[in-house]
A and B are shown apart, each in its own frame.
Chain A
Amino acid sequence: MSLLPMPELFDKNEWFIIISLLVTIPPVKWLPIRFPLSITLLLLLFPVTVSRVVDKVISAPGLDFYDVVDTGKFEFFDLIAYILYAPFGYFFIYIYDYYRWSRYKLAAYILFSSLLGWGYEAVCVYFDVFEYKAYESPYSFPVYLISQSLTLLFFHYIFTAHKDLKSNEFY
Chain B
Amino acid sequence: MGLVVIIDFSLILLILYTLSKKRLHHLEQAFISLLILFSFTVFTSIFVDNVRWWEISGNIESVLGLKFFEFIIVPVSILFYLNIRLSLLTRLIRFLFDMVSVAYFMLMEYGLIQMKFLTHQNWRWPSSIILWGTLLLVSLFFQISFRKILQREGGEFR
**B25 pairs with A170, CB closer than 8 A:** yes
Report if A32 contacts B (CB, 8 A): no
**A73 pairs with B49, CB closer than 8 A:** yes
Report if A16 contacts B (CB, 8 A): no
8 Å CB contact of B38 from A37, A42, A48: A48
List the A residue with the shortest CB-CB distance to B56.
A62
8 Å CB contact of B41 from A2, A41, A52, A166: A52
Task: Give Cα A72–Cα B49 distance, bound, in whole angstroms.
Answer: 8
Nearest-Cβ distance from residue B124 to partner chain A, whole angstroms? 16
**B25 pairs with A36, CB closer than 8 A:** no
Report if A146 contacts B (CB, 8 A): no
Task: Give Cα A38–Cα B67 distance, bound, in whole angstroms.
Answer: 28
Number of A-B residue pairs at CB separation under 8 A? 104
8 Å CB contact of B42 from A1, A2, A74, A168: A74
Task: Give Cα A161–Cα B25 distance, bound, in whole angstroms.
Answer: 8
**B46 pairs with A74, CB closer than 8 A:** yes
Task: Give Cα A155–Cα B134 distance, bound, in whole angstroms.
Answer: 30
Report if B132 contacts A (CB, 8 A): no
Report if B27 contacts A (CB, 8 A): yes
Which residues of A sit under 8 angstroms from B34, Cβ to Cβ? 42, 45-46, 48-49
**B21 pairs with A171, CB closer than 8 A:** yes
Report if B51 contacts A (CB, 8 A): yes
Nearest-Cβ distance from residue A56 to partner chain B, whole angstroms? 5
Task: Give Cα A4–Cα B21 distance, bound, in whole angstroms.
Answer: 39
**A62 pairs with B27, CB closer than 8 A:** no
Report if A3 contacts B (CB, 8 A): yes
Contacts A158-B26, A170-B23 hold; do A165 and B60 have CB atoms under 8 A apart?
Answer: no
Interface residues of A (CB under 8 A from B): 1-5, 36-39, 41-42, 45-46, 48-49, 52-53, 56-57, 60-63, 72-74, 79, 82, 154, 157-158, 161-162, 164-166, 168, 170-171
A-B CB contact pairs (8 Å), 15 listed: A1-B50, A3-B51, A36-B153, A38-B149, A45-B38, A49-B34, A52-B38, A52-B42, A60-B45, A82-B38, A158-B30, A161-B26, A164-B26, A165-B25, A170-B23
